[in-house]
Amino acid sequence: MTHPDYPQTLAAQSVALAEGQFSSVELTQHYLERINRLDGQFNSFITVCPDFAIAQAAEADRRRAAGENGALLGIPYANKDIFCTKGIKTTCASRMLADWQAPYDATVVERLHAAGMVMLGKTNMDEFAMGSSNETSWFGPARNPWDTNRVPGGSSGGSAAAVAARLAPVATGTDTGGSIRQPAALCGVTGLKPTYGRVSRWGMIAFASSLDQGGPMGLTAEDVALMLNAMTGADRRDATSIERAPENFMADLGKPLTGLKVGVPTEFMDAGLSPAIRACVDVTASTLKQLGASIKEVSLPNAGVAVPAYYVVASAEASSNLSRYDGVRFGHRCENPVDLADLYSRSRGEGFGNEVKRRILVGTYVLSAGYYDAWYRKAQQLRRLIQQDYVAAFNDVDVLLGPTTPNTAFALGENIADPLTMYLSDIYTTGVNLAGLPGLSMPGGFVDGLPVGLQLIGNYFDERRVLQVAHQFQQHTDWHSRMPVAAE
């Protein structure tokens, strides 16, 4: 069992550290011990850095002894292995970058460390964030703590599994088409994809630049809000970073939901949704209604084309972003190339896995002469229609409620040979990325012992309201506090 002196949530740990109940070093040692003892069955970490973590924790204790009392000071966290970390391997779960050490920290890492957070290590993920199950990792799949024969979701599967198994109180993730929300749903934790531009992408290795967005994962909406406070803000090094006044994402958590208008998209409640998950959505809507919200059906007419539009746009941008991995400057280099063409082709052929190759090929095709208008331009036009659907919906309601995934976690190996089925696991999440909106997945029940995730979607820069709804829901339910038996 987790140590009774160490509360599980970030918020409770922050209070306990401030009261001197234990030190950051003691808390960090607790998590390092759990990782060492338990992660062999989950494979949620690629790299664990105990010496670095203890040094950071000791520095946090010194800062606190000197009078600092920041909410995140001395709190351990896990970092998705897509964020550059100076002097520590950043692999993107790939053979291509298996031994690469970044010469700098990503902006997100800089900000979390400036706030005093303690990095336990780097978490497993789908290779270059391309996948929905964490099975494309060069280091082997992460496993779902609720059933280790099932996937944790992807691409941020390692982060979700680590939080669910209490190997870290919170973690970073990235979301290109659902890669924070989908694994959060399958592992029974809370994960937030912020509005595009809220969180700097500098030092976050690119997959699809117009879609990628970093965000926090934790047990509760309160934990996510605390972490988001440190992650957001304009960054002159990222041209897509938004200039906005600083916000306190904790500010509205305690406000009641009286008068809140919640929309349930009819297109999300179709025949492809598991009846058991639909029942969880209905129960959640009823709970929110009891808390003072009104429930209304809304329509997103173009929701059905979100997946194909997403995979055209994302693959096109991936083919461009991944062209930098050529065996010349950094990353995997083939042995004894005979010429430059051989160096390029064999380095990339050996360094990339099948899913990454598939998306590069698709992306190159849709951007090629003669096909650009038929595919890429058309996908961008559909993207605008999808965005307009959401804008219209938010003229009538404050937030949208629906399922995060159509089913609970599937078995390892079940869909890996069927890319189409795998892609459809993101059917309810990709539209949010295409529109650039904030979306949160929160635990909302269990089906056959596996967690169900429910998605809240907000208007642009309305993370505070989304977090408020999730927090109020979590004050009246206990799904988020349940712990897998394998993690005890």
Q: Tell me the catalytic residues.
A: 80, 155, 179
Distance, CA of 7 to chain centre: 23
Backbone phi, psi, residue 48, to 5° = -110, 135
Quote the CA–CA distance of 281 and 275 in Å, as a whole number: 10
- Please say whether the beta carbons of 237 and 272 come within 8 A: no
Q: Are strands 214-218 and 170-174 parallel, antiparallel or unpaired?
A: antiparallel
- Please say whether the beta carbons of 149 and 413 come within 8 A: no
Helices (H), 134-240: 157-164, 181-187, 221-231
CA of 233: how far to CAs of 237, 238, 247, 365, in Å?
A: 12, 11, 9, 36
Structure tokens at 152: 């944790």
Beta-carbon contacts of residue 377 (< 8 Å; ≥ 6 apart): none
What is the SS3 assignment for 190? strand
What is the SS3 assignment for 170? strand
Neighbours of 440 (CB within 10 A): 29
Amino acid letter, residue 329: R
CA of 269: how far to CAs of 17, 167, 180, 303, 446, in Å?
A: 44, 34, 21, 11, 18
Residue-wise DSSP of 441-475 = EEEEEEETTEEEEEEEEESTT-HHHHHHHHHHHHT
Q: What H or E segment, with its residue span, contains residue 15? A: helix 10-18
Quote the CA–CA distance of 81 and 90 in Å, as a whole number: 5
